[in-house]
Structures are given as structure tokens and as C-alpha cells.
Structure 1
Amino acid sequence: MKLGLIGNGAIAQFVRRALEAHGHEIGAVLLRPARIAQMSPIPNDGPLYVGSVAELPDDLDHVIDCAGHEALRQYGTDVLRAGFDLTTVSIGALADKALEAALEDAALEGDSKLHLASGAIGALDTLRAARVGNLTKVRYTGRKPPKGWLGSPAQESIDLENLGDRPQTHFVGTARQAALEYPKNANVAAAVALSGVGFDETEVVLVADPAISVNIHEIEVTGDFGSFEFRILGNALPDNPRSSALAAMSVVGCVLQETKPIVF
């Protein structure tokens, strides 16, 4: 496929390398005009660098958003309305009901689809199957080292620099609240919510834990099917300790599924 990328950070660069290794072409990279202006010189032997959706080549097969919630807000509807399928890992942005509705309308207008990459969590296939019956509990718990919560609202409620050796919970609420209050930290909560009982019925607990060195994601689900618990210890990308390796891998996996004659 000939692909467009939104963003040029650690996740975007991982996705680009992986997809090129699988024989796909990156035809264009969409960045803020100010970001393009900072690139000197712009490589002339690679993809086209553009500052707006209108400048994207017409022959792209798919566009991939790797640039976060604000990029999905800024470009998502225009990409979909232009007829491009779009894959994003910025699932938490859909906690904004107005944005979710606008993206859906744009996809219908452009006869396109918005694909949601699973991000830094797994077991969502089990959760999607289980929601066919009645689900009585869906809880997501996110644990990160204190430094993983720097720059988030956690700083307002706990002293991240002096936690001692005991974990501290700094958020208990719904997935919608978590996604809106923690836009850089709650994509996993949003993925769990959209796979199960929705943003307003999914319980979320966020914890700063000085005893761990990786991010830990836990899902607990109970319903007519029975119950399950899932736990993953996630490593960061080498290029950026704030970016999940599995989140980047999930984007690649999602796009590669589009090329397969048999989809699992």
C-alpha cells in the first residue's frame, strides 16, 4: 500500500520503519506547518511532507495518525471526508462526544472508515465477545512509575517526587473522565471502554507505584460469560520512554490486517 503518516515522533518513526520493512511505501507525512519549517533541509528522496490534508496525494491507500489527540481533532474529520481510511492510536480523544460524532459523520460522508488500534493493551477480542452477553463489571487499572505521571493531573493530588515506597492511587472514576482529564495517559482506558460497556460504565483506577519500572495495565471483567483478568507489563520505545512499544506495534498490526486475504 501507499500510506500517509500524521506525525513524526517516536511512534510514527517506528511505524514507518516497520511498514517499509513489510514492503509498503510511505507516500506523505502530514505535519504542522511550523514543524515542517524547522526541517532543514527537507529530504528529497523520501515521502512528501505536507502541512494540510488538502495537500495529501490522491493515490494514498490509507492514512495513519501517530500524533496524539490534538492531531486527530485537527485532521481526522478532513482525512475521513476526503475518502481516506484512517488508523489512529489516539482512542481517548473519542471520549469527546462531539468529536466522536464528527468523525462518524465525516466517515459516512467520505465513504471511509476510522480504524482504532488497540494500543498498549490486549485481550480486547475477549472483551468484545463477552459484551454480546451481559457485562456486570469492567475495570481498568493503570499503574506507572511516578515519573510516568509527570505532566498529568496526578501532580495536583500527590507528590510524585516523594512517594516513598508505597503506591498511591490518584484517580478513581469513569473511562470518560480519565480520557478527558488524562489525554496523554488514558488511551488504554478508552480502548477498554470502547471494547466493552462504554466510556461511562467502565471503571478506571490510576496508580503511581514507586516499586515498578514499567507500565502495568490490568483489566478485570465479569459477566454472563464468566470472568477474566488480564495483565500486561509494557516496555517503552527505546527512542522515547514515554511511548509504549506495544502501542506502536498495534498500529502496524492494524494496518497490516488491511492487506491480508484472511483476517483473524
Structure 2
Amino acid sequence: MTKDPRKVAVIGFGAMAQSLDRSLKDLSGKIAISATLVPADIEVDSGAITVFHNVDDLAKWGPSVVVECASHQAVRDYVPALLRAGIDVIVVSIGSLADNELVAALERAADEGGSRMTVVSGAIGGLDVLRSAKIAGLDSVVYTGVKPPAAWKDTPAERLVDLSKLTERTVIFEGNAAEASLQYPKNANVTAAVALAGVGFDKTKVTLVADPRAVSNSHQVNASGAFGKFQIVLENKPLPDNPKTSWLAALSVEQALHRHFQKIEL
């Protein structure tokens, strides 16, 4: 498959894909989004970007790499076909990988097509430390996510509290990463990244918080094991066009694309 960096395609063309498109255009232009795959009933203002409504048509177009930045369902519906067609895919909706059957299907598809699927680090850092520590053994991994109430709109949190009237820090979810990734797919993908790097979806403990005093999205990971103890805290600004997504998450997608085309990966 061609490795033309100006023949990148995206699945979905929402806030993250548009942010990625603008950022790539503002840089050298060596990497460019040239196509997008969206459902037939979705109209997008994509400018000069070619719009596909069928995954087979996109595969025939021959993208150098496809970036999924749409939804868990998009991973299920489109990514296996692309991998079987020999096309590398970068997945943003990593919460979808809480589904073991889906992961097995993706692995089979990649094997059949001789392709590769990678996932982005999203809004969290320090995952290299977790992966290394996992080799010696991890005893505990705990993730805490804190965001302003507006970031939790259109989620199960609205059934628990009146987000518009919150006056104090309020826990809206406690459970494991598998539950968080499925219940809060647009807000808690970072939990999936932590789970994959560490002790898995079922053993990673998760707390999600709505805080009216928060001015940014906060992500904290605490881990312990044979290696010792580890803590990381990030305060991320939200993506201007989508308060549910950290700006760093969008930047991690751009970084993943640059690494995909690097001759020497540093």
C-alpha cells in the first residue's frame, strides 16, 4: 500500500478531525487529509477533501493510512475491513477495545491483510512507564478524571445530577475501565489507554468527577507494583470546538501520524 503522506483519510469529520486537518495545513503540508468516510446520511463541509460513504470505496481509493476519529461503532463497522484490505489504521476511539471479541476480530483482520493497527495515547502521558512496569508486575492502577460540568453533558451523568446547578466537586462514576469506556465513550477514552498499558480493563479502577471550579480537564494516574510507585497528573485544556475532548488528545493523533511516516522513530 502506498505511503504517500498526502493521502491520509479519516473516519468521521467532527471536531477532532477538523482540528487535525487545520493543524496539518498550518504546518509544512507534507502530511494532508485527502479523504473522509462518513455515513450516507451525514453531510459534511469538507472543502477539497473527498467524501466516501462506503468503506470498500475508500479502500479502493488506496489511502496511505486511515485515522478513525468517529466512535466505538465506527471501529466495529469499518476498521476490520480496512485492515483486511492491507491498510494501516490509527484508532482514536480506544474505549471500543474493552470488547474482547472486537479485539480478536481486529487481530484476525490485520493478520489477513498484513496491516497494522495502532492506538493513540490520547490526553494522558506516562504510558511508557506503565508498559515497562507491567513486565515486572503491577499491583494497582487507579485513574481519576476531573472535568467541568459542561464536559459531561449528553452522558449518563445528566441522569444522576443537574450539571447546570452543581456547586461542588461531585463524583459521577466509580467503577472499572471497562464500564467507564462503555458508559462514557466520548469522555473517558483515556481510561482505555491506561487500561491497555497497565492491568487491563477489569482491574483498572476509575473515578470520574464533575467539578464546577475546574477550568481544564484533569487526568491523574496512580500505579504501584514491583517497580515501586508512580503518579502523573495532567491539566489539559479542552478542544475549542468540543469540551468533551482534551486538546492534547487531538495533538496525540497528529503526533501519531508524524510517527507513522518517520523513517527513524524517535
Q: Report if TM-score (shorter chain) is over 0.5.
A: yes
Question: How many residues are treated as equivalent by the alignment?
Answer: 258
- Contact 1:174–1:204 at 8 Å: present in 2 too? yes
Report what 1:173 is aligned to.
175
Contact 2:63 2:87 in 1 (8 A): yes
Residue of 13, 19, 22 corresponding to 1:14: 19
Q: Which amino acid aligns with 1:126?
A: V
The answer on 1:252 being equivalent to 2:257 is no
Cα distance in 1 for residues equivalent to 2:11 and 2:42: 12
Looking at structure 1, the residues matched to 177 and 112 of structure 2 have their Cα atoms a distance apart, in angstroms, of: 29
Cα distance, 1:18 vs. partner?
2.9
Q: Aligned residue for 1:152?
A: 155
Distance verdict in 2 for CA 1:147–1:104, change over 3 Å: same
Q: One-letter code of the match for 2:42?
A: R
Counterpart amino acid of 2:138?
Answer: L
User: Contact 2:14–2:70 at 8 Å: present in 1 too?
Assistant: yes
1:163-212 Cα distance to aligned partner (Å, 9 max, x none): 22x21112111100111111121101000000101101111011111121
| Pairing partner for 1:27 from 18, 34, 38 | 34
Q: Which amino acid aligns with 1:119?
A: G
Which residue in 1 is equivalent to 2:144? 141
CA contact (8 A) 1:95 1:199 kept: yes
Q: What pairs up with 1:1-264 in 2 under 5 angstroms?
A: 1=5, 2-20=7-25, 21-22=27-28, 23-36=30-43, 43=47, 46-56=48-58, 57-164=60-167, 166-264=168-266
Distance in 2 between the 1:172 and 1:262 partners?
A: 41
Contact 1:141 1:206 (8 Å CA) reproduced:
yes
Normalising by structure 1, report the TM-score: 0.92
Residue range with higher mean Cα deviation, 94-103 or 194-203 = 94-103
Are 1:96 and 1:180, in contact at CA under 8 Å, matched by a contact in 2? Answer: no
Partners in 2 of 1:186 and 1:96 — Cα distance? Answer: 15
Q: Deviations over 1:22-58 (max 9, x none)?
A: 412323211111124x65xx74xx2321111111144
User: Post-superposition shift, 1:235?
Assistant: 0.8
Structure 1: distance between partners of 2:62 and 2:206: 41
The question of whether the paired residues in 2 share the 8 Å contact of 1:4 and 1:64 is answered with: yes
| Alpha-carbon separation, structure 1, partners of 2:158 and 2:23 | 35
1:125 Cα offset (Å): 1.0
3-state SS in 2 of match to 1:140: strand
Task: Name segments (4+ residues, structure 1) moved above 3 Å.
Answer: none
Deviation of 1:83 (Å): 1.0
TM-score by length of 2: 0.91
How far apart in 2 are the matches of 1:238 and 1:217? Answer: 18
